[in-house]
Amino acid sequence: MTPERREKLLSVLRRRQSTVTVVLENVFDPHNESAVMRTCDSVGIQDVYIINNRIPPKKNWGFKSSSSAKNWLTVHQYTTAADCFNELRNQYDRILTTHLASDAVSVFDIDLTQSIALVFGNERFGVSDETRALADGNFIIPQCGIIQSLNISVACAVTVYEAYRQKVLAGHYNQMSLSNERRHELLTKWGFKEQDLLKEQE
């Protein structure tokens, strides 16, 4: 591994965020999957959760538009919302779904510096009733056009970049978010050899 490559990966890892994640429920379009993963990587989201109870679990994700983002993310797959939420509850303090409901709040009014999971639903039907019932609430992206909906990948990008904005202002990207154990796990996955890991710990 070249010094430049090593420093690039370490720089990325230092900005990875452990307190925010994206959950996709029955999102089938590979273009959407790829775009979401690329966006998550770009703002330092490491973990992406997939709920898929309509087609078999995937081994490969997306098209070339992801620029291999999937290689740098940790993708968790579940076949039921209940199992996924059990794990989310162990990792995050709050779970919100995108859904146009009477109690939905604007994404710009949510404190996205807290520990939070953000759930996005199927391209046609949105988040399921089951998943909404398991969540802590709903949020929307304010709009003033005729068509009151956004493509799933666009909605995700708007939302996580608002989280990015808030977390930058709060200084979250200036401090290490991941545990030492998680950092070691990811560096190993990303191709660090033992000597590289020892240098990283110095």
pLDDT at 5: 85
pLDDT digits (tens, 9 = 90+) for 130-162: 999 999 999 999 988 887 778 999 999 999 999
DSSP per residue, 98-134: E---TT-EEGGGS-TTSSEEEEE-BTTTBS-HHHHHH
Predicted confidence at residue 69, as pLDDT, reads 81
Q: How confident is the model at residue 171 (pLDDT cuts 50, 70, 90)?
A: very high
Q: What is the pairing mode between strands 47-51 and 94-98?
A: unpaired
Tens of pLDDT, residue by residue over 48-105, are: 999 998 766 665 555 454 447 888 999 999 999 999 999 999 999 999 999 877 788 9
Instruction: Sketch the domain layout of the chain as residue ranges.
Output: 18-178
CATH annotation of 18-178: 3.40.1280.10
What is the CB neighbour count within 10 angstroms for residue 202? 4
Residue 20 has pLDDT above 80, yes or no: yes
Rounded Cα gap, residues 123 and 198, in angstroms: 45
Question: Which of these, 92, 119, 101, lies nearest to 26 by C-alpha position?
Answer: 119
Which H or E run contains 77? strand 74-78
Q: Residue 199 has what pLDDT?
A: 57
Report which of residues 16 and 199 the model is more confident about: 16
